[in-house]
Amino acid sequence: MEDPCLSTQLIDGDGVFNVSGLESFMKEVKLAECGLSYAVVSIMGPQSSGKSTLLNHLFRTNFREMDAFRGRSQTTKGIWMAKAQNIEPCTLVMDLEGTDGRERGEDDTAFEKQSALFALAVSDIVLINMWCHDIGREQAANKPLLKTVFQVMMRLFSPRKTTMLFVIRDKSKTPLENLEPILREDIQKIWDGVPKPHAHKDTPLSEFFNVQVVALNSYEEKEELFREQVSNLRDRFQQSIAPGGLAGDRRGVVPASGFSFSSQQFWKVIKENKDLDLPAHKVMVATVRCEEIGYEKVATFTADEEWQQFEEAVQSDYVPGFGKKISSLLDRCLSEYDMEAIYFDEGVRTSKRHQLESKLLQLVNPAYQSLLGHLRTRTLEAFKESFDKAVEKEGFAVAARDSTQIFLEKFDKGSEDATIQQVNWDPSKVKDKLKRDIEAHVVSVRATKLSELCATYEGKLTKALAEPVEALLDSASEDTWPAIRKLLQRETTAAVSGLESAISTFELDEATEKELLLRLENHGRSVVESKAREEAARILIRMKDRFSTLFSRDADSMPRVWTGKEDIKAITKTARSASMKLLSTMAAIRLEEDGDNIDTTLSLALVDAARPGTTDRSIQSLDPLASSSWERVPEERTLISPVQCKSLWRQFKAETEYTVTQAIAAQQTRGTTTGCLLHGRSLRWLSLVSMSS
């Protein structure tokens, strides 16, 4: 059982194109699925010549036919279209309005020419329906029609070769082989008489048309024979587009999905009375349809559930298999485009495919960049964890090199997994950022580790120097500073050697290593200098303590008992000389063996100048302590200036005078039996002691 015939009015009698009707018709017949595998057949001829009847029998369509009992009149207005039943491939049939109808009038030929041009532009096969008795007649009804066809043909730039099948109706007894030469002669005369552009002045008819002729008996008088002849003719329309088939040259054929748009544009240009540039029209249709297909594919891709899941997932973390899956989704989308656009102009569809691919990649790129960002973050965090552990097991530099190489390779593998086949995106910028992040972390850890090592060895050096230096300074002898220098050299050498060994795994450049070792050496010096400054700040207390110890205790460190036999003068001098030695020792930092005269200066100024037997007027008149600096001692190494020494000594004497007085008083108490003589001697001695001080 045959399906119901599907048809629609394509263009009405007023020349209005039925867009919605054609779109609905195409969906019903599923034309878009045909690709290039479809044919278009149209029929022209005088009014009431049986065109619709022929089409209905030939293609089993349902075009409206004339009622013979009601007289000849126009039955088809405008252009109608139907789908041929049981003809492969899909064949669209167009029934055109008659060309000599009295309804439009003799002068109204505009629509006739427009519809003829439209039929030639879209059809593979054009049926010319004509009466047998018109063959050879000068006033034949088909002559104006043929002139119209040939004239409008000139308005098609680069027209494709169309099959023009002349259907002779109501054939007489004259054999077809006798009628056909006459008909071809008539056709050639009409062709020769049509004005042509200069380029086609000598072009033969065969360049534009594949002319074929068939004859049919009268439908009304010999219906059975007519049906048989039509059935035979119908067989010729099966596989009409195959090589050797009835259809002509199909170079300009528009893919089925673009048929509606193409037809609309043809009719628009025709109505505007413009010439049709078929090659340009083909490109234009391809451009519009390929763009439409591209937009559809972009919309389909963005709505794809798998893509949406991947797009959401990469916002929060790295997604394994991203590249392979996205490549698959893109490939599927582009393949669908290729399938739908395959029959359109190659240059256009390729160009639009590139545009589609570019749009899809623009959609994917943010997700790709986000993925690389997560990959970089994950790789960096993993590097930090692994590197911190590796540093404990391996040398720093080795751990840094090996870990960096390992995790950059891991990034490469991850970025390779993210690679999308359709594009060669370069992840090097993200990798460079990862390199910088890794290097920054290595530098930070190196700085921290080196700082810790330096602090450790500085702490060790401080511990090795602080207390010994304090003890040496407290002893205050000729050997104090030489002993300190020896101690400093020994402990600094040991510390520097230890640090040098510890930082060897860092593979530092020579300048950096020297800087660290020098810093440690300087730290040792600063410890000594700091300790010396601390001791110098409390020199007065130290001097008084030393004086008190030496004055109040004997050689066995036992407290003195003032019995009257002790030489207080000598004891006082010894104690004060020791205190002055302490002051001399603390007056300057002596870490270099360049020597100074501080001890001599203090001795001359504070001890020798006060002796009763001193007669050198130069010593008495010139005060060597009346200065803010020591000779041959730089300011930065000065702890106590000459002026400060003088002031401290004066204060020291004043604060220790009472101790001496108390000692003398004690002797006096024990020596009352010696009488006034001894008392007088004591007073005189005390006076001498004061003078010597």
DSSP state of 17: B
Please give the torsion angle defined by the CA atoms of residues 602, 606, 611 and 615, in that order, rounded to the nearest 10 degrees: 70
The binding site comprises 45-52
Number of other residues whose CB lies within 10 A of the CB of residue 29: 21
Instruction: Centre a 10 Å sphere on the Cβ of residue 581 and count the other Cβ atoms it contains.
Output: 20
Structure tokens at 109: 């030929």
Neighbouring residues of 679: CB distance < 8 A, sequence distance ≥ 6 = 668, 671
Q: Look up residue 660 and give its amino acid.
A: V
Residue stretches of the annotated binding site for GTP? 45-52
Which neighbouring-strand residues pair with 91? 39
> In the Cβ-directed half-sphere of 600, how many Cα atoms lie within 13 Å?
6
Angle 355-360-364 from CA coordinates, rounded to 5°: 145
Helices (H), 132-222: 142-153, 176-193
Sign of CA dihedral 400, 402, 406, 412: positive
Nearest to 22 by CA among 108, 118, 117: 118
Task: Give the CA count within 13 Å in the CB-facing half-sphere of 188.
Answer: 9
> Helix (H, G, I), strand (E, B), or coil: what is residue 310?
helix
Nearest to 503 by CA among 512, 493, 494, 490: 512
Q: Collect contacts of 330-337 with beta carbons under 8 A, ≥24 apart.
A: 330/301, 330/357, 330/360, 330/361, 330/364, 330/420, 330/421, 330/422, 331/421, 331/422, 333/297, 333/300, 333/301, 333/360, 334/297, 334/360, 334/422, 336/297, 336/300, 337/293, 337/294, 337/297
125-131 and 79-83: which strand pairing?
unpaired
d(CA 330, CA 322): 12
The two tokens of residue 535 are: 């001791």
For 276, list phi and psi in degrees, rounded to 5. Answer: -95, 120
Q: Distance between CA 343 and CA 161 in Å, rounded?
A: 19
Instruction: Give buried/exposed letters for 254-264 (b at 16+ CB in 10 A, else e).
Output: bbbbbbbbbbe
With contact defined as beta carbons under 8 Å apart, do 125 and 41 qualify? yes
Upper half-sphere CA count for residue 231 (Cβ side, 13 Å): 6
Burial class (CB in 10 A: 0-12, 13-18, 19+), 684: exposed
- Whether residue 486 contacts residue 545, with contact meaning beta carbons closer than 8 Å, is answered with no
CA distances for 689 relative to 412, 568, 569, 683, 692, angstroms: 93, 9, 6, 10, 5
Written as one string, the DSSP assignment of 264-304 is HHHHHHHHTT--EEHHHHHHHHHHHHHHHHHHHHHHHHHH-
- Count Cβ neighbours within 10 Å for each residue of 399-426 and write b for 16 or more, e otherwise: bbeebbeebbeebeebbebbbbeebebe
